[in-house]
Structure 1
Amino acid sequence: MTSDPDDISSNPSANRPFNDIAAAVLSRRSVLRGGTAAAAAGFLGLATGTAGAATGPATSTAARPGRSLLGFSPIPTSEADAVSVAEGYSARVLIPWGDPVRPDGPAWRKDASNSAAEQAEQLGSHHDGMHFFPTGRNARGEDTGLLVLNHEYIDQALLHTDGDAEMTQEKVDKGVAAHGVSVVAVALVDGQWQQVDSPLARRVTGATPVTYTGPVTLEHPALDSNNPPLGTMNNCSHGFTPWDTYLACEENWNSYFGTEDESWQPSPQEARYGIDNEGFGYRWYEVDPRWDIAVNSNEPHRFGWVVEIDPFDPAAVPVKRTALGRIKHEGALVTESRARLVVYTGDDQDGEYIYKYVSDAPWQSQRARGVSPLDEGTLYVARFDDDNTGSWLPLVFGTGPLTASNGWQDQADVLLRTREAADAVGATPMDRPEWISQHPKTKDTYAALTNGSGWGAANPRKPNPYGHIIRWWEPNKNNTGTTFEWDIFVLAGDPAYDDSVELSEDSMFGSPDGLWFDPDGRLWIQTDISNSAQLDPEQGYDNIGNNALLAADPESGDIRRFLVGPRGCELTGAVTTPDQRTLFVNVQHPGEETDTIGEPTPENPRAVSNWPEFDPQGRPRSATLAIRKDDGGIIGT
């Protein structure tokens, strides 16, 4: 696609945006510190690159000069159709799109002629969020496990032999089957990771039966649709629980709905969630009434949730946990604080919000009495203030403006209309909130803001084409509380185009998306430069190259580029094995339409990329990489 729909806001609220708040902070610090350069350094809390110390708030984890956690040499940017990785490391393709999830399943056909039924038994398309669940016999289980990964969306020019020139029910069914989640068994054999057989391996697709718990159940009239409750769609990032379940997060679910009914107009609620008559151009509604918004108006209410999947029970029905709200969930960072379960999530669209959920009681006691900690709790939304403090505002029926007199019916209504509830309480609109991760030692929480229009102090550029990473810390490391302090960890971008950027050639990046802290405290940053901007000098992206994976040490202020992906891709889903000697990372949508390179077609699916197989008759495939240090050491050292 030539533009990213996430860059277009559907937020009509008058809430004070993050750009205004950031501008106020910068202005105040400029006066106090006597100059914009000094103000910027103090505001950012981190002098990025490979030198310099930060001067952020004393209570933050501001960078300190000294020995870095990063032991590898940074690699340069690249525009090549290849994966490049730091010296001393090797990257191996493990599980690409179309491989069977069980070794005896249907084989991949390089001409895209696999049927919908076959795709339902194969790895889905566009690998995204991912977690490794150990299953090994040794104490840490680092040599065998289950990789559970999301499949965010599809490219119909690559999925079908003739693209989408004519829409058919078979194409819709194949597209639905290419979405969802894969559970794949893997093992380290003679120093190489490979897929192995397991009765636990399975697919969850857009047609898998699901159920709903929490305040919004299947008995709610808003979920009364013209078909059974089926599937999970557009799963972006993820989470995992202390009881070893996987959380898939439904992001751009609105993209599949549309209608040919010219009389249909979106309701205010539908417009608030970006539902229109075309979606993102999939055109499934032309042949399948499930996706026709004029015919099946309640089906969208079944999406936008966090979905819990038990990877160790193939018979378990996926559960949509409605207490966590209905938005475009980018991910679900799960942490424990004061014995309670806390879940952070971002709503990935320009001008949307950051949320936090806190269980009502200690999570272990909830489970002991047969209650899910994800069903009984309070959902909050963040407000960032221009004095570098913030508040978590409860989204609870009967609290503040969320009353019957203001048109709210009950808690289920609040959760079905989470975005509108957040508008009402005065949350801070942000520049596309993406992945959220927490430092394992300090408990500071970091969020990627990919890019956007510039929505306030926590979003200091207007517009903000490069994005940035914010962080906050809550008093006494208590993540269940309702106040926090915040700063900006790093402004992404190219200093050749923006002199507020303090990144070097070794650390320069744009559009941060995925964030993941390893157990030692390295922050792994995965980028998602839109293919409408990638390599484009008019948008300031010609020096940054293809999307990349970088590592940052918040303590020393060191950021280094570790891996660069092939053309047209983004990097996502980074996670290590428990011993930190293997890093798994996904290469998503290589070969997708890129304005500066070209557009794949059924006749030439290799127009942008032919990674990873470079088969002259094949096509690009999303895939998981298994990265090992050549000396067998810990990743990042």
Structure 2
Amino acid sequence: MRKPLPLLTAHPTGRSAMTCRYRCGDACFHEVPNTSTNEYAGDVIARALSRRSVLRAGAVLGVAAAAASAGIAGPGAGSAVAAPQGKGHHPHGGPHGKPAKGLRFEPVAPNTADTVTVPEGYGQNVVIRWGEPVLRGAPDFDPTRQSAKAQAGQFGYNNDFLTLLPLDSRHHGHSHGHGADQLLVANHEYTDEELMFAGYDPEQPTREQVEIAWAAHGLSVVAVAGERRTGALHAVPRHPLNRRVTATTEFQVTGPAAGSALLRTKADPSGRRVLGTLNNCSGGTTPWGTVLSGEENFNQYFANAERVTDPERAATLKRYGISGGASGRRWEEFDERFDLTAEPNEVHRFGWVVELDPYDPDSTPRKHTALGRFKHEAAQPRLSRDGHAVVYMGDDERFDYFYKFVSKNRMRRGKSAEDRRHNLSLLDEGTLYVAKLTGDSPADEIDGAGTLPEDGEFDGSGRWIPLAAGDRSFVPGMTAEEVYVFTRLAADKAGATKMDRPEDIEPSPRTGRVYVALTNNTDRGKDGKPGPDEANPRNANKHGQVLEFAERRNDPTSRTFSWRLFLVCGDPQDPGTYFGGFPKDQVSPISCPDNVTFDDYGNLWISTDGNKLGSHDGLHGVATAGPRRGEVRQFLTVPTGAETCGPLVQDRRVLVAVQHPGEVDGASVEKPASTWPDGPGHYVRPAVVAVWPEDGSHVGR
């Protein structure tokens, strides 16, 4: 018998109040925005029972068709959703031998060390920190002489999503002896002014502090160079392709709602030009070489909702979590567009998926209205077999939904300027859908404690409900423009399934299965709130789960899918947890899944946000196929107060964004809670970290 992996015994801590305040405007302390009465998955189970055998047959046929379509052999790998394994148990006490290829490292034990802890035999380096120069003319970071002009040319704050794109010989540059070979693109989700500015007064911020914060939001494009003998990665400052996008950068509004009266303001009567992007969380990399980024908790930046007197407008603001008087950062005191009474439509110009061309530093980034407006956690595209672009998206809110978009046109494979322009317009036309899930177990088998139903899995079927396509609305009582701008209300009317905070959603490049990180929902089952259903089976769900689904015939344009819960996270010793059927005494504990990605072997890598098992957040790898399916192995942990973001797993290195280190209640510049990354006497700074095998081999081999 293998020795169980250790679990910290401290009381659950979760996210700090400081993080809640600056990251999402205390969203979880406010009333749940979704008060709609649409059906829940649990409500339809009784009716589904009469069709239970039909649903099972359909799911099995869908899996078989996906396996044939994918043409992938091997245990569990050929099916779009792997077959159940003996009511959640491996035979004979579990598999023997080595972990799955790509996950062969000694798991990091849960810990609270104020550092990035990596497996034995792995090295690490900081690629770039907040405030380091990106653009030509930008100064080195000096915390005592910060300015908005300097920050606009420096790496932004609280890096989240990461991607690396190749550079060919036309783009190589040299700086400080390094030749750039890739482009790093990073999101900057939000700012924590108490850790940025000495003596910060949240009741009376200065204009300079506010403008620095505007410049620290957005995205950074930074050329990087890899070391030949290791997996270390180094930023190449002032490269010609380096770029900063901020809260004041001009964006083009595209798609069917562009120009709508709902998007027009005094500064932009056309409804087609927006200044800035806010609260950029995770994102995605397109097959045509651009980067997508999701605007998430934009609601917190807008003030004076309590002074809105029109009942319909007030209800719409409330549905998007916008309430109260002054905003937390007081930006409305320095720019009236953040005051809802002065500029009522400005708030409609945020909450979109944005697209950036990192190879063209002079291009105007876009906001895609065809993908709907909500709290976008991420947007990861894939192509159908005939070239349609499909984008999966989660709305990170308790009891909200997950969506997909299918483009009307097909991607062109050519490299001409005309092909490039065509591909940059792919996300402007198509159909927007929302997901509805149905479980296949009797209602009395979903007990709210995470007990597996008799069939050994939480599973069922699902369908994509169309909301709008072009100028056509499928939602009674709403125009197409209203569907795009008020997507949450449209999904309410369509009867979508209320989920436990859908965050990142990623399709496996090997199998076509799609994975949804459902972070947590401690309101599940409270008085007056939805109770458990088969896709969200636990009341007071503080640890979250990962859902896996397969679309019919492995076709991402399909309108139906089968699904099952791949992981039900938490303490492996808790009977209400589940790890893909893998023996629970052989897995690393995992809590609050957030961002996900894949390695070249098809393993799913999961970063966590708000770990409620007493350990720091971290990055975990888990096999999705074969005899070790469900084996979770922790690869790293991050410093005190930090969250693990933007994981990117390459052959020879792993990249993570260490976000909001030191963000602990009561912390400040004068009283830091962390000394990462530069030690005592220095400002705590969010940063990007590269991790690699010290012997020059491949990650997890």
Give the TM-score of the pair, scaled to structure 1.
0.86
Which of 612, 621, 638 is 1:565 aligned to? 638
**Correspondent of 2:555 among 453, 466, 478:** 478
Identify if the C-alpha distance between structure 1 residues 300 and 262 changes in structure 2 by more than 3 Å, giving closer, same or farther.
closer
Of 407, 410, 424, the residue aligned with 1:362 is 410
SS for the counterpart of 1:385 is: strand
Structure 1 position 426 matched with structure 2 position 495: yes
Secondary structure in 2 aligned to 1:92? strand
Identity %: 39
Match of 1:441 in 2: 510
1:528 correspondence with 2:618: no
Tell me if 1:76 matches 2:83: no
Which of residues 396, 414, 426 is equivalent to 1:373? 426
Q: What is the aligned partner in structure 2 of residue 47 from structure 1? A: none
Q: Does the 8 Å CA contact 2:598/2:649 hold for their aligned counterparts? A: no
- Displacement of 1:601 in angstroms is 2.3
Q: How does 1:337-416 map to 2 (within 5 A)?
A: 337-338=384-385, 339-364=387-412, 368=419, 370=422, 372-387=425-440, 388-396=460-468, 402-403=475-476, 406=477, 408-409=478-479, 411-416=480-485
1:319 equivalent in structure 2: 366
Q: Structure 1 residues 150, 516: CA separation in 2 closer, same or farther (over 3 Å shift)?
A: same
More displaced 10-residue stretch of structure 1: 490-499 or 232-241: 490-499
Determine the C-alpha separation between the residues in 2 that align with 1:292 and 1:312.
Answer: 35
Distance 1:395 1:627, change over 3 A: same
Look up the match of 2:35.
12
Q: Distance in 1 between matches of 2:466 and 2:112?
A: 46
- Corresponding residue SS for 2:299: helix
Which of 120, 125, 135 aligns to 1:92? It is 125
The match for 2:7 is none
AA in 1 matched with 2:641: G
- Which range moves more in the overlay, 166-175 or 1-10? 1-10
Equivalent residue in structure 2 for 1:613, among 678, 689, 700: 678
Where does residue 686 of structure 2 map in the other structure?
622
Aligned letter for 1:86?
P
402 and 84 in structure 1: CA distance in 2 versus 1, 3 angstrom threshold: same
The answer to whether the 8 Å contact 1:20/1:457 transfers is no
Cα distance in 1 for partners of 2:648, 2:326 equals: 32
Q: CA deviation at 1:413?
A: 1.7
Aligned to 1:509: 590
C-alpha deviations, 1:240-293, integer Å up to 9, x for none? 111111111100011101129756576111111111134762222233212111
Residue 175 in 1 paired to residue 218 in 2?
Answer: no
Shift of 1:150: 0.2
Structure 1, unaligned stretches of length 5 or more?
A: 30-53, 535-539
Residue 346 of structure 2 aligns to which amino acid in structure 1?
A: E
CA displacement at 1:15 relative to structure 2: 2.2
Residues 1:149 and 2:214 are matched in the alignment: no
Distance 2:575 2:327 in 1: 32
Q: Indicate how the Cα distance of structure 1 residues 216 and 177 shifts in structure 2: closer, same or farther if over 3 A, else same.
A: same
Contact 1:17 1:430 in 2 (8 A): no
Change in Cα spacing, 1:150 to 1:55, as seen in structure 2 (3 Å) is closer
Instruction: Rate the CA distance shift 1:91–1:18 in 2: closer, same or farther, 3 A.
Output: farther
Amino acid paired to 2:408: D
Q: CA deviation at 1:94?
A: 1.1
**Cα shift at 1:621:** 0.8
Q: How far did residue 400 of structure 1 move?
A: 8.2
CA contact (8 A) 1:494 1:501 kept: no
Q: Give the drift of 1:498.
A: 5.4
For 2:308 and 2:294, the matched residues in 1 are separated by 32
User: Is residue 238 of structure 1 aligned with residue 283 of structure 2?
Assistant: yes
Distance (whole Å) between structure 1 residues aligned to residue 645 and residue 305 of structure 2: 35
1:127 to 159, 162, 170: 159
Name the CA shift for 1:450/1:278 in 2 (closer, same or farther; >3 Å).
Answer: farther
Contact 2:507 2:515 in 1 (8 A): yes
User: Scaled by the length of structure 2, what TM-score is found?
Assistant: 0.78
Note the C-alpha offset of 1:89: 0.9
Q: 1:146 to 1:263 in 2, by over 3 A?
A: closer
Aligned-residue offset at 1:92: 0.8
- How far does the alpha carbon of each residue in 1:131-159 deviate from its partner, in whole angstroms, 9 at most, with x for none? 10011559x99971110010001111012
What letter matches 1:489 in structure 2? F
Distance 2:377 2:46 in 1: 26
Distance 1:352 1:609, change over 3 A: same
Shift in Å, 1:509: 1.1
Deviation at 1:194, TM superposition (A): 1.2
Residues 308-330 of structure 1 deviation map (CA, whole Å, 9 limit, x = unaligned): 11101110011111111111111
Aligned partners of 1:88 and 1:630 also within 8 Å:
yes
Contact in 2 for aligned 1:400/1:425 (Cα 8 Å): no
Distance 2:47 2:684 in 1: 46
Distance 1:585 1:279, change over 3 A: farther
User: Is the deviation greater in 242-251 or in 491-500?
Assistant: 491-500
Partners in 1 of 2:487 and 2:397 — Cα distance?
14
CA RMSD of superposed structures (Å) = 3.1
CA 1:74/1:19 → structure 2, altered by over 3 Å: closer, same or farther?
Answer: farther
Of 251, 255, 265, 1:214 maps to 255
Equivalent positions of 1:533-612 (< 5 A) are: 541-542=613-614, 545-555=615-625, 556-557=628-629, 558-577=631-650, 580-593=651-664, 598-604=665-671, 606=672, 608-612=673-677
For 1:109, the aligned partner's letter is D
Q: Where does the alignment leave 5 or more consecutive residues of structure 2 unmatched? A: 1-15, 53-74, 174-178, 269-273, 441-459, 525-529
**Are residues 1:110 and 2:139 paired?**
no
Note the C-alpha offset of 1:518: 1.5
Question: Residues 444 and 23 from structure 1, CA distance in 2 versus in 1: closer, same or farther, beyond 3 angstroms?
Answer: farther
- C-alpha deviation, 1:57, in angstroms: 13
Bigger drift between 247-256 and 287-296 goes to 287-296
Contact preservation (8 Å) 1:386, 1:457 = yes
Pairwise CA distance, 1:370: 3.6
> 1:393 Cα deviation (Å)?
0.4
- Cα deviations by residue, 1:16-74 (Å, 9 ceiling, x for unpaired): 33566799999x99xxxxxxxxxxxxxxxxxxxxxxxx999976224785752221111
1:498/1:17 Cα in 2 relative to 1: closer, same or farther (>3 Å)? farther
Tell me how far 1:610 sits from its aligned partner.
Answer: 1.5
- Confirm or deny: 8 A CA contact 2:286 2:380 kept in the other structure: no
Q: How many residues align?
A: 587
Shift of 1:506: 4.6
Structure 1, residues 310-352: CA drift from partner, whole Å, max 9, x if none? 1011100111111111111111111011321110010111111
Counterpart in 1 of 2:6? none
CA distance in 1, matches of 2:545, 2:495: 23
Match of 1:297 among 334, 344, 368: 344
Instruction: Give the 5 Å matches for 1:257-272.
Output: 257-259=302-304, 262=307, 267-272=314-319
> 1:504 and 1:79, CA in 2 relative to 1: closer, same or farther beyond 3 A?
farther
What secondary structure sits across from 2:696 in the alignment?
A: coil
Residue 674 of structure 2 aligns to a residue in which SS? coil
**Distance verdict in 2 for CA 1:547–1:261, change over 3 Å:** closer
Q: Which amino acid aligns with 1:147?
A: L
Aligned partners of 2:517 and 2:594 also within 8 Å:
yes
